[in-house]
Amino acid sequence: MSKKILCVLSEYGYWGEELVGPLEEADAAGYETVFITPTGKRAHALPPSAKAGYFDPPLKKVVTDEYYAAKTREIDASPRLDNPLSLKDWFPERPYFNDQNFGHELVAYHKKREECWEQLAEYDALLMVGGSGPLIDMVNNQRLHDLVLGFLKLNKLIIAECYAVTILAFARDWSERKSIISGRHVTGHALEYDYKDGTGVLGIDANFGPPFFPLEYILRDATAPNGQYHGGVGHERSTVLDYPFLTGRSTQDSKLVGQLMVKVLEEGLARYGW
């Protein structure tokens, strides 16, 4: 049977190549890709990722070539991303501790979450696409954290790219509160490659300056003491597979992330990049 991928996109803008790379590999393998956004709104690509020749200030190089820019525009203009699933409508919200009837509401929340997790059986992998948009509506999204925990419970492949890797550091059982990547090997945006200025997202007319947090520090702390963050600074790519987690540092890793996804699902590959 054909494999089925659940792909999470930010409503505040995803990086085009980070969707195109894995999506092309999934399409070539005959997989079905189902899209989901935090509230069910259609996702759109960040403008720099659809413009060939975009120059990355920290890397001092062009990071958007004509091929991926064209493919990004093509997907953005097509109906393929129309009518995504809504994470808000699917997964429950955890109640506040001081809510009235908290005990009963917490039981109901856990019961509903278990029902949602059972529905994940039809999917073979979770793909979370990066960019600056996820900083707004994905990284600290409790419902998305629960989605990740559901795939983890079912021992299914969990893929995160660029700043979406932060989700893996923050997704954790509410009782134990221990990072699910503790003792694991991951990659993510290195401090050397973070912007100093110019971070922007769709729908908000603002320059946020640097990213909201240094992801490298978060990942180093989350994987400690027995795991490791791999920045791959000075290397063109940094892609790490420590099953069930497959992480890509940035745009250049996107195609390889897709290729490894297929190798995991077809051949059972469990380790790469460390």
- pLDDT over 90 at 265, yes or no: yes
pLDDT value at residue 5: 98
Q: What is the pLDDT of residues 153-166, one digit of tens each?
A: 999 999 999 999 99
pLDDT value at residue 93: 97
Q: Report the mean per-residue pLDDT for the chain.
A: 97
pLDDT value at residue 255: 98
**Number of domains the chain contains:** 1
pLDDT value at residue 80: 98
- pLDDT over 90 at 1, yes or no: no
Q: What percent of the chain has pLDDT over 90?
A: 98
pLDDT value at residue 250: 95
Q: What is the pLDDT of residues 23-69, one digit of tens each?
A: 999 999 999 999 999 999 999 999 999 999 999 999 999 999 999 99
Q: What is the pLDDT of residues 94-153, one digit of tens each?
A: 999 999 999 999 999 999 999 999 999 999 999 999 999 999 999 999 999 999 999 999
Distance of CA 194 to the CA centre of its chain: 17
Range of the domain at 63: 4-272
| Across 172-184, average pLDDT | 94
pLDDT value at residue 229: 98
**CATH number of residue 199's parent domain:** 3.40.50.880
Q: What is the pLDDT of residues 69-99, one digit of tens each?
A: 999 999 999 999 999 999 999 999 999 999 9
| Across 200-219, average pLDDT | 96
pLDDT value at residue 6: 99
| The model's pTM | 0.97
pLDDT value at residue 12: 98
| Across 194-216, average pLDDT | 95
Q: What percent of the chain has pLDDT over 70?
A: 100
- pLDDT over 80 at 219, yes or no: yes
